[in-house]
Structure 1
Amino acid sequence: MTVLPDGGFALAAEFPETSPEAWRQLVAGVLRRSGREVGADDAEAALATALEDGITALPLYTAANGGDAVTGYPGFAPFTRGGRPEGGAVQGWDVRQRHDRPDPARANEAVLTDLENGVTSLWLTAGAAGLPVSALARAVDGVLLDLAPVVLDAGAEFEEAGRAWLRILDEREVTGARGNLGADPLGHAARSGAYDTVEGAVRAAVDLARLCDRDRPGLRALTVDALPYHEAGATPAQELGCSLATGVALLRALTDAGLPVPAALGQLEFRYAATADQFLTIAKLRAARRVWARVAEACGAPAAGAQLQHAVTSPVMMARRDPWVNMLRTTVASLAAGVGGADAVTVLPFDHAAGLPDDFARRIARNTSTVLIEEAHVGRVVDPAGGSWYVERLTEELAQAAWAWFQEIERAGGQLAALRRGLVAERVGAAWERRAGKLARRREPVTGVSEFPLLTEAVLERDPAPEPVSGGLPRVRRDAAFEALRARSDAHLAATGARPRVFLAALGPASEHTARVAFAANLFQAGGIEPVHEPVSVDADSVAEAFAASGAELACVCSSDALYADLAAPVAAALKGAGARRVHLAGRPPKKPWAAVDAYVFAGGDAVGVLTSALDLIGVTR
C-alpha cells in the first residue's frame, strides 16, 4: 500500500524531469522513423497545423509561447473570461430555440412544447422568411412573456415586427419583458444586397432603441448578427471583424441620436456561429468579448463593454446526407459555445438542412443543451478553458486578426461602404474558395458525406422551410459539392433504376488490396457511384470477365505498389478491352504513368474533380 506524503500528491513525482528540447529530440526521432528527415530544431514546425486567418496551431504549448495564463476576471474588463461575474452554482446559459414555421397555430404548439421541456427563451423568425408579423400574438399565445425572453428576427420588416411586439407587451400588461427586437439593418443588407435602404433602416432601428431605453429597460432593440458572414464562408477572424464594424456603425448612430455611450452599448446583442471545431469556437467567443471591450474602452465606457452573446450552431456544417451525424456536430458546437461563455445558445435541429424540423428534432436540439447544463454541469464553471496556454494564445491571435480586419473595414469607410464596394464579398469569397479546395480534397472531411457515405439511406423528407433572404452574400455549405454529385446519382437512379457503378479490380490477396479497396469504395460512394467489388485473381483475363459481368462503365484497380509494378498496365489494358470507359488506379501516380490507366485516386487528391469527371463521362446528367 502506498502512503501519500504529507506534502500532497505530485503527479510527476516518479518521472524524470524533462525539457522542451528533449521532447523535440524525441519527436525528430519518431519523424525520422516514419521517413521524414527532420532535425530537432524543426520538429515543432513539422507537426504544426496551419489554420485560417494566418494562425498556426503548435503541437506543444508552454508558458514560454502560451501568452498570459489568465486574462482578467469574469465580469470585468476586458471581459475575455466572461461578461458576468458569476461564481459558485452558475445556472448555465439561456437555452434559446429557433422557430420559423409560418403557420402560427403550429408554431404556437411548438413554442409551448419547447418552453415546457427545457427551453428558456425563444428566437422567432418573422416576416417573409417566417411567421407573418400579424401572427406574432397568436404564436406566443399562452407564453408568460415576463418569464420567457423573446428575440425577433424579421429582416426588412424589423420595424413593423418590433412595434407589433411592443403593442403585444402593452396589451398583455407585461412590464418586465426581456429579449431583443432584432433590428439588424446592416446584416439584412449583407444578405439581401439592398444597400440603398440602409440609412433609413438604421434611423428606424435607432428609434426602436430609444423607445426600449426609455420604456423597456430589459429589452434591447438591435442585433449584430455575424451569421450572414459566417454563412458566406467567412473565417473566424472575418466573422469577428465584420461584427465589430457593424457594432461600431450602430454605436455611432445611437450616440449621434443622443443616447449616452453606456445606454447605446446596452442596446446591442451579438450573434455568432458555433462550429464543431471546439477550440476555435471557444477562442472566438472569448476574442469577441475582448475586442468589443476595446471598442467600449475607446468610447470611454469600459465598464459597459460586456458583450451579450448569442451563439448558434453553424448552419454551414449541417449536412443533408446522413443528417443524424448533425446531432454530434451540434453537441460539440454547443459544448464549445457554453465553455466559451455564450449567454444564450441555439442548437439547430439535426434536420435543419432538410427543411422545417419535426418534433423529435426539436426535442433533441433542446435536450442537447439540457444534458450539458444539468448532467455535465458545464455551466457551473466560469471560463473553464481560461489559463490553457493553447486557448489563451489562440484567443489572442484571433483577437489580433479580427482587429486588423476591422481596421481595414474602417479605413474603407465602415461596414456599409465595405459591403457596397464588394470588399467584404471579395475577402470572404476568397476565404471560402480556399476552404472549398480543402473540402474537395477531403482535407476537411465531412462524415457521412465525403467520408463514410451511405448510398442506401433515403433522403430525409421535411416540410419546406420559408425561402431565405437572398441577393447579397451567398450562403454556403460544407457538403455542397458532394451534395450536387449525390443529387445527380439520385436522379440517375430514378430515371434508370440503378446508380452509376465502378468496378473495383482487387488484385492479389486481401492483405495486398483491402486498404485501397476500402479507400476507393469510400471515395466513389461520396459521389453517388456504387462500387462493385468481386475478388479476382491476378490474371488479366479473369479481371476483364468480372468487369463485363458487373454492369459498370468505370473501373478502379486496387492493390499494393509492389503488385502494381507487374500488373497495373496489363490489367488496365484488359479492362479497357472489356469496355471500361475510364480506368482509375488507387494510389499516387508513378514517375512513369502506366499505360491504359486514365486517372489516379489517392488521399489528398481532388475527389470532387475526379467524381464530377466520372459522372460526366458516363452521361449522368447535371
Structure 2
Amino acid sequence: MADSKEKLFSDFSPVSTDKWMEKVTADLKGADFEKKLVWKTNEGFKVKPFYRMEDIEELKTLDALPGKFPYLRGTKKDNVWLVRQDIKVSDPLEANKKALDILMKGIDSLSFHIESKSLNAETIQILLKGICAESVELNFSTCQGHVVELAELLVAYFQKEDYDLAKLQGSINFDFFNKMLIDGKEKGNLVQTARALIEATQPLPCYRVLNVNALSLNNAGAYISQELGYALAWGNAYMSQLTEAGIPDTIIAKKIKFNFGISSNYFLEIAKFRAARMLWANIVASYDPECLRDCESKGKEDECRCAAKMKVHAETTSFNLTLFDAHANLLRTQTEAMSAALAGVDSMTVTPFDKVYAAPDELSERLARNQQLLLKEESHFDKVVDPAAGSYYIENLTVSIAQQAWAIFLKVEDEGGFYAAVKAGTVQKEINETGKARHKSVAQRKEVLLGTNQYPNFSEKAGDKKPLDASATCGCAEAPHTDVATISLERAASQFEALRMETEAAAKRPKAFMLTIGNLSMRQARAQFSCNFLGCAGYEVVDNLGFETVEAGVEAAMAAKADIVVLCSSDDEYIEYAVPAFKALNGRAMFIVAGSPACMDDLKAEGIENFIHVRVNVLETLREYNAKLLK
C-alpha cells in the first residue's frame, strides 16, 4: 500500500511557484495581483492567496514541540482544556447550588465573583460546600481592594478542609492595570498588594493571582496584534516592577495568568495564541529565572523553563455580540471557541448568546457549555495537540502576528513600560482609535454583522430587550472620578441597535416600497440590496416583481401608504426612469435611487437627493432618514 501511494504521487510532476503565478496572472486577465488577491490585514501585514513549502523553510518555529520551550505548540503534551462557567454570587447558598448542578453537566472550571460586602469565612464555607477543590479549577474575583482578604479566607478554608494544597488549581483575579483601563482609577499600590497576595497564597503554589485581562482590549475592539502586544507589556510590567521590589522572578512568573479574548478572525486567532506562548516564554527567559527544584524542564544554564509557560484562559469576545438576531451570536462564539481550542488554551469561557441584553438564563448557559462539550466529545478537538502545526498559512500568520505584537511591546517598553503608557493614556488612545475605525467599518458594512448591518430580520422587534452596561468591573461604591483615560467597551452593533430601537419606539414605522422596473436581473439585485439596507433601521420593506411604467409603480406605492419609494433598475435606465418617477411622486414620499449611476449629477440637478449604494455610510444615511421620517 505504501508503495502504491508513493507511485501515485510520483505520477504527478511538481508544480513550481512560478507556474502557479503564471496561471493566476492569466486568470486575472490584466488585473493587479497585489490589489486583487493580496489581503492587507488590520494588523498591518500582507496575506498572500496561497503559500507553499518554500514559504516556511526559513521559519524557526517549525522546530517547536508540544510541551517544550518556547511553548509555541502548547505548554502541555495534550490538548485538554477546562470548560469554565462564571457565577455571580449574590446569595452564596444559591451560588453553591448552581455550582454543584453545573459540575454534573460538564463544567470543570468555576469562576465566582463575590461582592466585597459579603466577603467573610461563612460565605466561603457556604459557597464551596460539597465542591471537591482538588477535582475542579476554582477562580475567584472581588473588589480589587479586598483580594488579599479573599486569598487569606480561601487558604484558611482549604486548610480547614484538609486539602492537599499543592494539588489545588485556580486563580484570584487581581489586576491593577485593568481597573485603570476600565474605570480610570488607580487604586492602591501595585507592589504592596501583589507582595501581600503572593505571600498569602504561598501555600497554594498552583494558584495564579496576577492577572493580565487583555480580554478588555478585545472587547473594546482591539486588533489582534494590539491585544497581544499590550498583553505582553502588561505581563512584563508585573515582572519588572515586582523583581525590582525584590520578589524572585520565578515566583512572579508562576503567579501570572493571561485572560485573552477570542475574536471571529478564525485563523488569526489560532496564530495569536501560538505566538503569545512563544513571545512570553522568551520574555520570561530573559530574566534568567532560577529553577527552585530538580526539574526536567531546566534550561542549559539551569534556568526555570516552567516559569516561562504562559497560563492562558480564553473568553469569546463581547465586541461582536448583537441584540437583534441574537441567536447568530451562537455561530460567532462557536467559531471563536473552535479557534481557541485548536490553539491549545488552558481553559475557556463561551459567552452566553443573550449576554448583551439579559442576565443569562439556564438555557443560554447550557448552550454555552455545550458549545465547548461538542468540540470535545463529538469533534474530539482535545485529542490532537496543535493540529495547525506545519500549515503553510498558519505558520506564516504566527510569525507575522508575532512580529507585529513584538513591535508594539518594544514601543511600550521604550516609552517607559506599560504602567507609564496607561498613565499617559497612550494605550487607551490606540485602542479607542481602533474601536472607532472598526465602528466605521461596521457603519459602511466593510465589517459585517449578520442580522444587524446586513440581512436583518425585518419582522424582529426588540420589545423589552435593552442593552446592558458592560463597563462595571465590581460592585464597590467609589467616588465618581477618573485618574486616567479609559477604553470604550461599546459593541460594534450598538449604534445600529440604537437606530433600530428609535424606529421601533416611533409612533409610525416607516414603510419602504421597491419600485422595480426595467432590466430584470438589475432590478431584483437592487431591490434586495435596498431591502437589506433600509431593514437595518427597522423599516418595513415591500418588494415587488416589477412595473410596466414608473407611474404605475408610484400609484401602487401610494396605495400601499409608503413613506419611501426606492427606484430599482439598471444604471443605463435611470436616465429614463428616475426623473419621471420623482415627478410623479411629487413629494408624497421620500424618493431614493438604488445605485450610483453615471448620470447622478444630472439627477441631482433635477432635485433628486437620495442615492444608496455600496460606498455610502449605511449608519449615517439611515440616521438622516430617521431624522426626516420620525418627526
Match of 1:30 in 2: 27
Write the letter of the residue equivalent to 2:174.
A
Write the letter of the residue equivalent to 1:480.
S
Q: Please report how far the alpha carbon of residue 573 of structure 1 lies from its aligned counterpart in structure 2 after TM superposition.
A: 2.8
Write the letter of the residue equivalent to 2:619.
V
CA distance in 1, matches of 2:616, 2:423: 37
Asked if 1:479 is matched to 2:479, the reply is no
Q: SS of the residue aligned with 1:53?
A: coil
Asked if 1:210 is matched to 2:202, the reply is no
Match of 1:598 in 2: 609
- Residue deviations 1:22-74 (CA, integer Å, cap 9, x gap): 32232233333xxxx32xxx425520112112122210112333452724111
CA distance in 2, matches of 1:99, 1:570: 63
Q: Which of 143, 147, 152 is equivalent to 2:131?
A: 143
Unaligned stretches of 5+ residues in structure 2: 290-303, 474-481
Q: SS of the residue aligned with 1:383?
A: coil
- Of the structure 1 ranges 11-20 and 503-512, higher mean CA displacement relative to structure 2 is found in 11-20
Q: Which of 3, 6, 18 is equivalent to 2:3?
A: 6
CA distance in 2, matches of 1:22, 1:540: 54
Match of 2:87 in 1: 99
Q: How does 1:556-571 map to 2 (within 5 A)?
A: 556-571=566-581
Q: What is the alpha-carbon root mean square deviation over aligned residues?
A: 2.4
- Of the structure 1 ranges 378-387 and 10-19, higher mean CA displacement relative to structure 2 is found in 10-19
Match of 1:109 in 2: 97
Q: SS of the residue aligned with 1:70?
A: helix
Q: How does 1:224-373 map to 2 (within 5 A)?
A: 224-301=212-289, 303=305, 304-373=307-376
CA distance in 1, matches of 2:20, 2:460: 47
- Residue deviations 1:494-533 (CA, integer Å, cap 9, x gap): xx2x422222211136434111111110111112122123
Q: Structure 2 vs 1, CA of residues 465 and 122 (structure 1 numbering), >3 Å: closer, same or farther?
A: farther
- Residue deviations 1:367-405 (CA, integer Å, cap 9, x gap): 111111111111111111111121111111111111111
Match of 1:424 in 2: 427
Equivalent residues of 1:357, 1:462 under 8 A apart:
no
Q: SS of the residue aligned with 2:209?
A: strand
Q: Please report how far the alpha carbon of residue 331 of structure 1 lies from its aligned counterpart in structure 2 after TM superposition.
A: 0.9
Q: Percent identity?
A: 28
Asked if 1:119 is matched to 2:117, the reply is no
CA distance in 1, matches of 2:53, 2:388: 15
- Residue deviations 1:404-445 (CA, integer Å, cap 9, x gap): 111221222221211121101111122122222211111111
CA distance in 2, matches of 1:271, 1:19: 43
Write the letter of the residue equivalent to 1:560.
S
- Residue deviations 1:70-109 (CA, integer Å, cap 9, x gap): 241111221111111x1xxx46211111223634344333
- Of the structure 1 ranges 417-426 and 248-257, higher mean CA displacement relative to structure 2 is found in 248-257
Asked if 1:579 is matched to 2:588, the reply is yes
Q: SS of the residue aligned with 1:354?
A: coil
Equivalent residues of 2:89, 2:115 under 8 A apart:
no
Write the letter of the residue equivalent to 2:5.
G
TM-score, normalized by length of structure 2? 0.89
Equivalent residues of 2:171, 2:209 under 8 A apart:
yes
Match of 2:525 in 1: 515
Q: Structure 2 vs 1, CA of residues 608 and 132 (structure 1 numbering), >3 Å: closer, same or farther?
A: farther
Equivalent residues of 1:275, 1:333 under 8 A apart:
yes
Q: SS of the residue aligned with 1:321?
A: coil
Match of 2:539 in 1: 529
Aligned positions, number:
595
Equivalent residues of 1:538, 1:567 under 8 A apart:
no
Match of 1:379 in 2: 382
CA distance in 2, matches of 1:25, 1:600: 41
Equivalent residues of 1:94, 1:121 under 8 A apart:
yes
Asked if 1:47 is matched to 2:41, the reply is no
CA distance in 1, matches of 2:393, 2:309: 24
Q: Which of 510, 516, 519 is equivalent to 1:506?
A: 516
CA distance in 2, matches of 1:390, 1:476: 32
Equivalent residues of 1:123, 1:151 under 8 A apart:
yes
- Residue deviations 1:220-277 (CA, integer Å, cap 9, x gap): 2221110222222211111112211111111123323443222211111101011221
Unaligned stretches of 5+ residues in structure 1: none
Asked if 1:454 is matched to 2:440, the reply is no
Q: Structure 2 vs 1, CA of residues 72 and 227 (structure 1 numbering), >3 Å: closer, same or farther?
A: same
Q: Structure 2 vs 1, CA of residues 30 and 566 (structure 1 numbering), >3 Å: closer, same or farther?
A: farther
Match of 2:297 in 1: none
Q: Please report how far the alpha carbon of residue 357 of structure 1 lies from its aligned counterpart in structure 2 after TM superposition.
A: 0.6
TM-score, normalized by length of structure 1? 0.90
Match of 2:299 in 1: none
Asked if 1:164 is matched to 2:153, the reply is yes
Q: Structure 2 vs 1, CA of residues 288 and 50 (structure 1 numbering), >3 Å: closer, same or farther?
A: same
Equivalent residues of 1:104, 1:139 under 8 A apart:
yes
